[in-house]
Structure 1
Amino acid sequence: MTDPTPTTEPKPATDPKTVNPMLKTALEFGPILAFFAAYLWLKDEIFTIGGTEYNGFILVTAAFIPVFLLCMGALWKLTGHLSRMQAVTAVLIVVFGGLSVWLNDERFFKIKPTLIYLLFGGALAIGLMRGQSWLQAVMEGLMPLKQEGWMILTRRVMWLFFGLAALNEVIWRTMSTETWVYFKTFGLTAAILVFFMFQGGLFKKYSTEEAAE
């Protein structure tokens, strides 16, 4: 489809179900915060399972995977919808978290954010090369913008994702596991929030007339 105008697209048969915002937030961020708290609790512990020693990070990772999937399943059940970004994230968590546990090597789980942001940034880059804003399809309901605004925002978000991928590589390769856990839990989220806070000028300049009214 080359025409990005949403008014020409047929509406889905059923809209996403309404869910309590607090519950939705808890399901989305609860597993991450639980991972952080469990890591701080068990980071210095060594566990012997089946004759193999596992540190606290690996054990917490093993517990995080099913908890995350259960929360995503509950979110899908409540809303009737999961975004492509959530689906891709879930697959990468299972694959790379599973590799970390199976091979007893925490590096696989640490590289996951790098791959997530490279995939998302690469997808946006492909859309831009085709003259399309694929970010618009994901976020249009949240930020009504003119087409030119969507193209500018997509380009900026693309570079944000590539920058976060590079930053994650620097952090996990040069700093301690504890530093990376703090960065993963709070740093990445804060970086995205700060980024969108600084896009106020773009939102104001390219907002649709309906949004301005």
Structure 2
Amino acid sequence: MDKKQPHPLFKLATELGPLLIFFFANAKANLFVATGAFMVAVVVAMVASWVVTRHVPIMTIVTAIVVIVFGTLTLVLHDETFIKMKPTIVYALFAGVLGGGLLFGRSFIAIMFDQMFNLTPRGWRTLTLRWACWFFSMAVLNEIIWRTQSTDFWVNFKVFGMVPLTMLFAVTQMPLIKRYHLEPATLEQSEAEAGDVTKG
């Protein structure tokens, strides 16, 4: 089925809602309660996205799987380490996918972010490399934060640090996207060449 374009506020709610629930549950109770609430919220957000748009972004699916797996380990083993490592795993996975794609001459940015960019081969390579480096840096940063700071500090940083920083980084990539943007001759050509970094 064709996916529908959701309202920006709905998209924002499904993406940030689970994180805010995680934050408030931790503030009112503890990390284990917050982890359970986070798992439920992530699943609800995916269901809501499917009901409204008949589509769930690939990043949301991957993140949800990791949340459920590591959240379950956290609750079953009663060990905070697993949920704290979740961002590291997600960011490292995304970095690996993007970096690995470049080795095979492909960019998976459009698929990962559920968007279609029409860029020159150099534009694809540069944008992909930047995001791969960013995700790797965030994985390292998460490891440093949770291993050296308190649980509350880590939760606050996860919600109010990682998300704004990633949004800011995305905004800083707009000049590059505009610089290497191409208008495809046809829609078929755009779909066929999207992400191809082997030309040029």
Quickly name the TM-score band, shorter chain normalised.
0.7 to 0.9
Contact conserved, 2:95 with 2:136, CA < 8 A, in 1? yes
Equivalent in the alignment of 1:198: 172
Output one character per residue of 1:161-195: Cα deviation in whole Å (capped at 9) or x when no partner: 10000000000000000110011102111221221
Equivalent in the alignment of 1:37: 24
Output one character per residue of 1:62-109: Cα deviation in whole Å (capped at 9) or x when no partner: 122112211211111211111222111111100101111111111100
Q: Measure how far apart 1:150 and its partner are.
A: 1.4
Change (3 A) 1:62 1:140: closer
Instruction: Give the whole-Å Cα distance in 1 for the aligned partners of 2:114 and 2:46.
Output: 22
Contact conserved, 1:128 with 1:151, CA < 8 A, in 2? yes
Using CA pairs under 8 Å that are at least 6 residues apart, name the structure with larger relative contact order, 1 or 2. Answer: 2
Q: How do residues 58-97 of structure 1 correspond to structure 2 at under 5 angstroms? A: 58-97=32-71
Spell out structure 1 runs of 4+ moving beyond 6 A.
Answer: none
Output one character per residue of 1:116-175: Cα deviation in whole Å (capped at 9) or x when no partner: 011110011110001111113344745432232111000010000100000000000000
One-letter amino acid of the structure 2 residue matched with residue 29 of structure 1: L
Equivalent in the alignment of 2:80: 106
Instruction: Give the whole-Å Cα distance in 2 for the aligned partners of 1:140 and 1:41.
Output: 34
Output one character per residue of 1:6-61: Cα deviation in whole Å (capped at 9) or x when no partner: xxxxxxxx32123332123212211111111221122xxxxxxxxxxxxx111121
Contact conserved, 2:21 with 2:41, CA < 8 A, in 1? no
Instruction: Give the whole-Å Cα distance in 2 for the aligned partners of 1:147 and 1:189.
Output: 29
Contact conserved, 2:70 with 2:83, CA < 8 A, in 1? yes
Instruction: Give the whole-Å Cα distance in 1 for the aligned partners of 2:41 and 2:183.
Output: 43
Which deviates more from structure 2 when the two are superposed, residues 161-170 or residues 180-189? 180-189
Equivalent in the alignment of 1:182: 156
- Name structure 2 gaps, 5 residues minimum: 185-200
Identity %: 41
Instruction: Give the whole-Å Cα distance in 2 for the aligned partners of 1:203 and 1:68.
Output: 30
Contact conserved, 1:136 with 1:150, CA < 8 A, in 2? no
TM-score by length of 2: 0.85
- Name structure 1 gaps, 5 residues minimum: 1-13, 43-55
Contact conserved, 2:91 with 2:138, CA < 8 A, in 1? yes
Which deviates more from structure 2 when the two are superposed, residues 130-139 or residues 164-173? 130-139
Q: How do residues 2-13 of structure 1 correspond to structure 2 at under 5 angstroms? A: none
Instruction: Give the whole-Å Cα distance in 2 for the aligned partners of 1:16 and 1:178.
Output: 38
**Higher gyration radius (CA):** 1
Whether 2:9 is the aligned partner of 1:25: answer no
Instruction: Give the whole-Å Cα distance in 1 for the aligned partners of 2:118 and 2:89.
Output: 29
Contact conserved, 2:73 with 2:82, CA < 8 A, in 1? yes
Instruction: Give the whole-Å Cα distance in 2 for the aligned partners of 1:116 and 1:98.
Output: 16
Instruction: Give the whole-Å Cα distance in 1 for the aligned partners of 2:89 and 2:99.
Output: 15
Whether 2:133 is the aligned partner of 1:159: answer yes
Aligned residues: 184
One-letter amino acid of the structure 2 residue matched with residue 100 of structure 1: T
Q: Measure how far apart 1:199 and its partner are.
A: 2.1
